[in-house]
Amino acid sequence: MTEIPDIKPALSVSELNQQAKTLLESHFDQVRVEGEISDFTAASSGHWYFTLKDADAQVRCAMFGRANARVRFRPAKGDHVQVRGRVSLYANRGEFQLITQHMQKAGDGALQQAFDKLKAKLMAEGLFDAEGKKPVPDDARNVGVITSASGAALHDIISVIERRSPMTRLFLFPVPVQGTEAAPALINALRQANELHLKGILPLDVLIMGRGGGSAEDLWAFNDEGLARSVVESVLPVVSAVGHEVDFSISDFVADQRAATPTAAAELVTLDTTEWSQRLDDAQRFLQGLMRRRLNLIRDTVGHLRARLRHPGLNVTQQRAVLGSHTRQLNTLIGGQLDRDRAALDNLAHRLKSRHPRHNIAELKSTLDGKTQRLGQGMTRVLRQLTSEVAQKEQLIRTLGPENTLARGYALVTTADGRIVRSAENTATDDKINVRLASGRLTADVTSVTPASDGD
């Protein structure tokens, strides 16, 4: 006989796509993929749609508005990026796709890891601690600037200084600010500025080190460990002004102060001309007030000394009068104290007499007799109450006990080991049972067992 094969029912297209979607999403919950962007589209809804490809394959990607709002650059066709997301299937079309949740330029991940590792290392050594920071002047007259001679950062600093504090002098230490030569050049410029200052050749007040904005690779020179240590070792206070406000570098953390931009750094270390005028006016008012207070103090002191210059005879007369007054006050105080002490002594003698033990003994004996009487009366009441309760409980035991039931002709049946037999099914043929009657006991053998029927 031939078996008929078990044929499973056919799936609809929707069911197939949905099962494939569930399988993909459960197996590829979070993946990282690196490739080149092509067919990039930014929809009016705020979502991005693009294709990620390599030399042999490609995959469709979607990045929704809430996720792409965190991306710090605008992707374009040809960009080499690394993305993180989950694999899914667009069930309506049966299209395999990658729902992207994070995007960065390829290589940024390794740079970020190196940044975080160096940051943790220097933090553990205490290079970021506030206790080691040098104060940064807000009215510097000689400012050293370590940046590119052709960059926008220098132009912004010069514009701010000319506008706010024309008397402030700038000294440029030109260096490349990106590329492999940048970090060594920055370190050398820091050392050169400190040496010139210590030798008195260039009496600098503060150093501004920085550059304009750029990519992570462009700013990487300011994440150099050697540069960080040189900033900490600098005798001159260092203001770090690297990139834009959202950019952070290792130099920002080790510097004595961070400025969001080169422009902000120039404003930080200088006073506006109006502020200088205000400070001069404040200083003038302070000096004038100080001089007036000093003159008034001298005048008061002279007047006080003149008032204290008196004839010696007048002082003797005054002192004799003071002595007489003090003598009368002393006599009055001594007499008053003696009277108070005498009254206190009389009071204590009276209290001692009133508290003689014989008074307390009679009072305590009367209290003891009263309590003894109340105790005897209480014990009598408790004994009567307990006797009544015992009698009631004995009567209840006799009423509810098995003897009354046995006296009406019933019997109490137990097995040989003392268990009460409540059903015939609790025994078997030839079992020995004990029967307790109202008067006496019986021992019997079970000859037959008849289970109870539904009507019994």
Length of the chain (residues): 456
CATH superfamily of 128-271: Succinyl-CoA synthetase domains (3.40.50.261)
* Alpha helices, DSSP H, located in 99-212: 108-124, 152-164, 182-198
Is pLDDT larger for residue 284 or for residue 187? Answer: 187
Burial class (CB within 10 angstroms; exposed 0-12, middle 13-18, buried 19+) of 222: buried
- Backbone dihedral region for residue 75 (phi beyond 0: left; psi -120 to 50: alpha; all else: beta): beta
Instruction: Return the CATH architecture of domain 13-106.
Output: Beta Barrel (2.40)
Nearest to 169 by CA among 135, 134, 203: 203
Are the beta carbons of 259 and 153 closer than 8 angstroms?
A: no
- Confidence category of residue 2, pLDDT binned at 50, 70, 90: low
Q: Which two tokens stand for residue 375?
A: 């105790």
3-class DSSP assignment, residue 32: strand
Q: Which two tokens stand for residue 340?
A: 């108070």
Tokens 């001692």, residue? 352
Q: How many C-beta neighbours within 10 Å does residue 118 have?
A: 16
CA 155/CA 146 separation, integer angstroms: 13
CA 247/CA 259 separation, integer angstroms: 11
- The kind and range of the H/E element at 436 are strand 432-436
Is pLDDT larger for residue 19 or for residue 30? Answer: 30
pTM of the model: 0.45
Tell me, letter by letter, the H, E, C secondary structure of 267-325.
Answer: HHCCCCHHHHHHHHHHHHHHHHHHHHHHHHHHHHHHHHHHHHCCCHHHHHHHHHHHHHH
CA 163/CA 272 separation, integer angstroms: 8
Tell me the Cα Rg of the chain.
53
Q: What are the boundaries of each domain within the chain?
A: 13-106, 128-271, 275-304, 365-400, 406-445
3-class DSSP assignment, residue 384: helix
Does position 277 have pLDDT exceeding 70, yes or no?
no
Beta bridge partners of 445: 432
Residue-wise pLDDT tens digits, 108-144: 666 777 888 999 999 999 999 989 899 999 889 999 9
Q: Which two tokens stand for residue 77?
A: 């066709």
Burial class (CB within 10 angstroms; exposed 0-12, middle 13-18, buried 19+) of 266: buried
Residue-wise pLDDT tens digits, 362-421: 777 888 888 888 888 888 888 888 888 888 887 777 777 677 777 777 788 888 888 888
Residue-wise pLDDT tens digits, 180-234: 899 999 999 999 999 999 999 999 999 999 998 877 778 889 999 999 999 999 9
